[in-house]
Amino acid sequence: MNSAYEVVALIALGMGLVFWGTDRASPTSRSLALCLGLLGVAIYANAQVIEYSLEVPLPGWARAVGLLDAAVFIAGCEWGLRVAKTVRDAEHDQRRDHLIRIAQALSLVYALLVAVQPELRYHELAIAMRERRLPPPGTLMFAVPSLLAGALVLTAGLRLLRRRPDQAEQVRIFAALAAMPVLTVALVLPARIAPLALALGELIFLYGALRYYMILGARGMFMSQFLSPQVAQLVRERGLRHAMARKRTEVAIVCCDIRRFTAYAQAHSPEQVMQLLRAYYAAVAAAAQEYGGTVKDLAGDGALILIGAPVEYADRNARAIGLARRLQACVRPGLKRFSPELGLGVGVASGTVAVGIVGEGGRYEYMAVGPAVNLASRLCDKAADGEIHIDEPTLAGSGEALPTRRRRRYVRGIGLLVPTYVLEDES
């Protein structure tokens, strides 16, 4: 056997193992790993057929090689369909999905033709290449479904790119679309140069794969600090853009703020203030992750945490109150170690908000807009050190019977009497 084919087959298998081993939590990476693994097997099988292509009759197993080729194509299409699910509104593009299904059917037609006429597919084509002449017209029946399937997938891929898929997946789509023609042409090239074309196609896709993991790595560093593990899982499964899509949803909001921070900052060096904020942010992020919260803002001495977006929770109100109590129980003592004068106030509210990514030019932010966000912030402002101020809907929705003091007060920016409840420090 030509050792060059063995090398390119091993490269494809290795790439499949890399995607499976490093990102198997992602449905897109699992399907892509299957596609690359099958590609390695198909390259090896086609190389075996080439060894016997000048002999007639061909071995019986040669009839099944076309099925391997079709399996590679079908698995690649399934990867594309899974990528489409990560794109906001793209799942409604039925025409694109139909194009891919038709392309998969055409690949099965190709496999059937190879099973029926393996000598025409391999032997006659090999003779024509050896004699440097055009292959018999009958070989067109193998080229037509393959070319049509490739054209349909290319069209579907371009439609998907217009929907602006997740940035990491977009890189892999571009690489796949660029590599596909090269890999397809390699099937009809002479045996002495076909491995080079196969290797070139794999290198094109490998470049896209490396860029994919660089993006995921940078994204993972960010998410590990500010987003809950549930959000990170959602991003892996559905993509960042889908996870952060704009929508209206029910959330609970927890705001916390350091008391007497301004006086501390004026009395201490900037390095000491930075050390305090670093420890404070880390403690807030750890508590938020425990309750499935998403840290939306860390600004100065304040923090705003969403529970219910991007990941929805039926028990979001109970989680929010639990998080507020954890902040007072764990974060507040940490502040006291820096200075006994420091303290923590917490406000909790819930309601319908609009959430999603806003921004342009490479500067984006995950926003939450609605009266509940403003109310949580105002309640936090009212809370003294050690206090948790909760609005009435949140407390009622939590199902918890907690010792509270009920108040009715005017809240700045709302202009109405707002019933609130105060949970005092239990330590």
pLDDT in tens, 260-295: 999 999 999 999 999 999 999 999 988 998 898 888
Domain match, 291 and 385 both: yes
Domain match, 252 and 212 both: no
Give the pLDDT confidence score for residue 299 in this predicted structure. 77
Does 334 or 123 have the greater pLDDT score? 334
For 173-216, the pLDDT digits (tens) are 888 888 888 877 776 676 677 788 888 888 888 888 788 777 77
- Across the range 29-38, mean pLDDT stands at 88
Q: What letter does residue 403 receive in the DSSP assignment?
A: -
Of 176-185, 225-234, 262-271, 394-403, least confident by mean pLDDT is 225-234
pLDDT of 422 > 50? The answer is: yes
Domain match, 80 and 211 both: yes
Domain match, 325 and 392 both: yes
Angle between helices 140-162 and 94-116 (to 10 degrees): 160
pLDDT of 170 > 90? The answer is: no
Instruction: Report residue 93 CA to chain centroid gap.
Output: 20
Give the pLDDT confidence score for residue 359 in this predicted structure. 58
- Across the range 93-119, mean pLDDT stands at 89
Does 351 or 401 have the greater pLDDT score? 351
- In this structure, are strands 302-307 and 294-299 parallel, antiparallel, or unpaired? antiparallel
**Domain end: 193, 226, 259, which one?**
226
Domain match, 100 and 216 both: yes
Of 39-48, 93-102, 164-173, 353-362, least confident by mean pLDDT is 353-362
Domain match, 218 and 293 both: no
Q: Could you give the CA distance from residue 100 to residue 14 in angstroms, rounded to a whole number? A: 26
Domain match, 172 and 257 both: no
Give the pLDDT confidence score for residue 339 in this predicted structure. 94
Domain match, 87 and 174 both: yes
Domain match, 219 and 285 both: no
Taking the model in full, what pTM does it have? 0.56
CA dihedral 375, 381, 384, 389 (to 10 degrees): 0
Of 172-176, 218-222, 243-247, 406-410, least confident by mean pLDDT is 218-222
pLDDT of 225 > 80? The answer is: no
For 47-102, the pLDDT digits (tens) are 888 888 877 788 888 899 999 999 998 998 888 888 777 665 544 567 888 888 99
120 burial via Cβ count (<10 Å: 0-12, 13-18, 19+): middle
Give the pLDDT confidence score for residue 244 in this predicted structure. 61
Average pLDDT along the chain: 82
Domain match, 208 and 301 both: no
Domain match, 16 and 147 both: yes
Residue 120 lies in a domain: yes
Domain boundaries, position 285 = 246-423
Which amino acid appears at position 61 of this protein?
A: W
Say how many domains are in the chain.
2
**Domain end: 191, 226, 261, which one?**
226
